[in-house]
Amino acid sequence: MRRVFAKSLLLTILYGAGAAIAARPQDPPDRGQPGDEMVQAYLLAEAKRLDGRFFEGLANAQDWDKARPRLREEYFYMLGLWPLPEKTPLQATVTRSLDRGDYVVDMIHYQSRPRLYVTGNLYRPASVKAGERLPAVFYVCGHSNQGRDGNKTAYQSHGIWFARHGYVCLVVDSLQLGEIAGIHHGTFREGRWWWHSRGYTPAGVECWNGVRGIDYLLSRPDVDPDRVAVTGISGGGAATFWIAAADDRVKVAVPVSGMADLVSYIGTRTINHHCDCMFLYNVFEWPWTRIAALIAPRPMLFVNSDDDPIFPMDANERIINRLERLYAWFGAGDLVDAVVSVGGHAYRQDIRQAAYRFLNTHLKGDPRIVMDSEVDLVTDPKDKLKARFPIAPEALRVFPNDRDIPKDQFNTTIDQRFVPMAGGKPPAPGEFDSWKQQRLAELRRVTFRHFPERVPEAKVVGDDSSAKVRLSVEPGIDFRLYDASVGQAVQGARRVVLIVRGVDEPADSAEVPSWAAGLIPPGDAVCICDPRGVGETRWTRKNPPNYVERSCALIGRTADTGRVWDVAGAARYVRSRAGGEATIHILGKGAAGVIGAYAALLEPDIAAVTLVDPPAGHMDAAAPQFLNVLRVCDIPDALGMIAPRPLRVVGAAGEAFARTAAVYAAAGAPAAFTQE
């Protein structure tokens, strides 16, 4: 039975497990572009499909435990943490300490990876009996901008309370808002779409920083390794899930306002109000609650507020109901609990009391109501005139002066280092087939996982004119194909050039682009494909919040992988229309050409590819982005895998595609690759 505290009683009656709670839209849906309604309906349908799979293939605790090792590996991969990084020396350093009478604060930093610094404050009782081991709390901070002092200073009251009640509490800065500030907003605002291709999310950094922080706590002689908890609110609530799901040494988890589900993030657009540290890249197409489920059956208190606009109540109820059923499988229904507080996105007395009481119960065997939760609170931390801090924020700096900040830090560039890129040499002669099959299999596993074994032939869903048809390859998405033949009809043609247009090209016509005219041999039939998001199906693109592109990653894909799907399906349709003996030749410029090349890699009906001015790698801002692709290969390698089919690259500078030429040579088809 769900326990509820204080002000939450009325809400439990109103929002009981059987009650229907209306979703709370965060923003009006975009309707400024012709493809908005289509893509938003598609994203919501996929979100519902994935969230509805929570119990799929699982019927009891034995099923869950059997699946757990595989799920844990998938989880780490989606955070950019698989294979797990080496646990290098922490180099933990206390720069100074502050004696507050009944407790002490140590200013500490450690390196979760070499040169990735984590700054924090360790709160501990001033007096500990010889040999005594205390329960410990790893406290993860939310998004409070305290500038140079680090966001840990806004949450100091929690560390103080824990230290005064016999805990060791480590409060750490997050990457973005710490003393050495990195970035959380790469795809939200900064245009770092290569994060998708790299498989990098700051959620992975926050998770790993927490795992290594627990390593530090357990290295201390005053910490009981069997009594460690993690808690935090907002971004810290999300990080609580990341860390507790990753590390079984966490015995108790108290996430506060840290998780919704896919239907909420996508359907009511709450994703628009969250930075990238709140999300992993869902390539294995998980129902989002599965992240929390990895904590089961360890004690967990799921805390939220009834008027929290970014963690709305309908999602809260769906999540806790799933978790309660899962915990019941383990005979541990009493170990998962929910608290709902009256108010918005913030701590209040009932939340603090509930969190502290839950931790006392499961770490100290003390279930008594907490009566002193409101002592030494930080108030109005965002208002410099009204703010009150028990300890002056600058006194909690780990690095008191800017000159003290380590010159060798990687915090500000960790997104370029955290997830390794695939490397390796081109295959040796005779090794091409195995080299290709290995990489192609991995691309299908972690980049194009949602694709069927073979993309089906596109189907006609509308015929707008003699020169234009509406096609669809998957439910909910349609795109346009134009017959641009100059002197040759498609039907009966021996060779058809399929031009792929990009999002920044003039579209909505059957006119051959000027850049393509000189590249089409006389007598060839010509079709033009405007895949999803191009021309008549273009959607609203705002930076921030980049709603469509970021939502795609939450359902395990990108907008560009969808375009690969469309081009592959269009190629099969065109070949069928022309006749079974026709050959299909892809022609595209820039990112659109690379999309066509990946379609050729996955679709054998495509006989040849010509690329104009292609980007040399997926780190290029002009390149198409596919989840995790750089963990498998880069553009030159992918182009090489098209061998022995003809590949022509026009306009590429220098040695950018020397690796492609080397792969074609290893495939025994050096003449099939040409560069102009």
Instruction: Indicate whether 433 belongs to any domain.
Output: no
Query: What are the residues facing 341 on neighbouring strands?
Result: 305
Does some domain include residue 431?
Answer: no
**Residues 393, 505: one domain?**
no
Are the C-beta atoms of 503 and 538 separated by less than 8 Å? yes
pLDDT at site 465? 77
Does 343 lie in the same domain as 282? yes
- Shared-domain flag, residues 450 and 387: no
Indicate if 321 and 173 belong to the same structural domain.
yes
Residue 430 belongs to some domain of the structure: no
Expressed as residue numbers, the domain containing 616 is 439-675
Residue 486: its pLDDT value, please?
A: 63
Q: Are residues 547 and 644 in the same domain?
A: yes
Q: What is the pLDDT of residue 581?
A: 87
Q: Could you say which of 359, 382, 416 is where a domain stops?
A: 416
Does residue 33 sit within a domain?
Answer: yes
Distance CA 144, CA 152 (A): 8
For residue 432, being part of any structural domain is answered with no
- 12, 64: one domain: yes
Main-chain dihedrals φ then ψ at residue 478, nearest 5 degrees: -130, 160
Domain count, the chain: 2
Q: Under 8 Å CB-to-CB from 424, ≥6 apart: which residues? A: none
- Order of strands across the sheet that contains 116-125: 93-99, 103-113, 116-125, 168-172, 134-140, 223-233, 252-256, 300-305, 336-341
**Radius of gyration in angstroms for the set of CA atoms belonging to the chain, rounded to a whole number:** 27
Same domain? For 95 and 162 the reply is yes
Predicted confidence at residue 656, as pLDDT, reads: 87
For position 174, which CATH number holds?
Answer: 3.40.50.1820
Q: Are residues 390 and 448 in the same domain?
A: no
Query: What is residue 22's predicted lDDT score, i.e. its pLDDT?
Result: 60
User: Do 376 and 299 reside in the same domain of the chain?
Assistant: yes
448 shares a domain with 407: no
- Same structural domain for residues 490 and 583? yes
**Residue ranges in the chain modelled with pLDDT below 70:** 1-25, 486-487
Cβ count near 72 (within 10 Å): 15
